[in-house]
Amino acid sequence: MTIKEIEQQIVEEFSLFDNWMDKYQYIIDLGKSMPVIDEARKKDENLIKGCQSRVWLDCREEDGKLYFSADSDAIITKGIISLLIRVYDGHTPDEILESEIDFIDTIGLRSNLSPTRANGLVSMMKQIKLYALAFKEKQASGDKYSVEDVQKNVIRALKQVFDPEIPVNVYDLGLIYEIKVGEDKNVFIKMTMTSPTCPMAEDVVNDVNNAVSDAPGVKGVQIELTFEPEWDESRMSEEARLELGLM
């Protein structure tokens, strides 16, 4: 569906309610049913400035389209951001930047919010546009990097991710079995953990995904976790061995 078609759908849904008490309850219900942001992304850099309550908004790119997740410590605000995500989710940066949404005023939402919440709504919309602009610029800059450049940037990013139990980055620790950078600048990583029973495996994979996604020139990331062959100390670099006093 296009952004305008989604807007019209929302307008039709709100037209079923006769008063704003019922509409507020509907917004609250939408907030309760919204998938929340991953806890790893619930950090200060994802907080939206200008909101009365705390609102976290994260954005990821996949196949040229943007996907959002969010959370808030205020239930009304959570419902409002869920409406915005519904409108913008799965659209390209250009589609988001070129859109002029009007469902907010059509359903009367803006005029039925307190001044502080109305300002927060504007801040949320602004942040979504800023994400779209940033990803558009990243897509454009990706053409400036060769496959070799991206490969080097990926390795630099991996060296910023550390195993939670060993004070060595995942690259020098030998947890990265394979790195493939396609001509389209999409990156495939095959990696492992020091133990198949590692309780922090999911967190480490998420950290790797986040770090590589932010590396210059990278368009997308796919990670495969494997335990064949199992990791052993022979896979560590000389730097890692020196760091751990094994040389």
**In angstroms, rounded to a whole number, what is the distance separating the alpha carbons of residues 73 and 54?**
6
Q: Does the annotation mark 59 as catalytic?
A: no
Choose, from 3, 6, 51, 158, the residue flagged as catalytic.
51
With vertex at residue 99, the alpha carbon angle to CA 97 and CA 101, rounded to the nearest 5 degrees, is 130
Task: Render the burial of 118-129: b for 16+ CB within 10 Å, e for the rest.
Answer: bebbebbbebbe
Are the CB atoms for 100 and 52 separated by under 8 Å?
no
**In angstroms, rounded to a whole number, what is the distance separating the alpha carbons of residues 38 and 206?**
10
Sign of the C-alpha dihedral, residues 137, 140, 144, 150?
positive
With vertex at residue 57, the alpha carbon angle to CA 55 and CA 62, rounded to the nearest 5 degrees, is 170
Q: Which sequence positions are flagged as catalytic?
A: 51
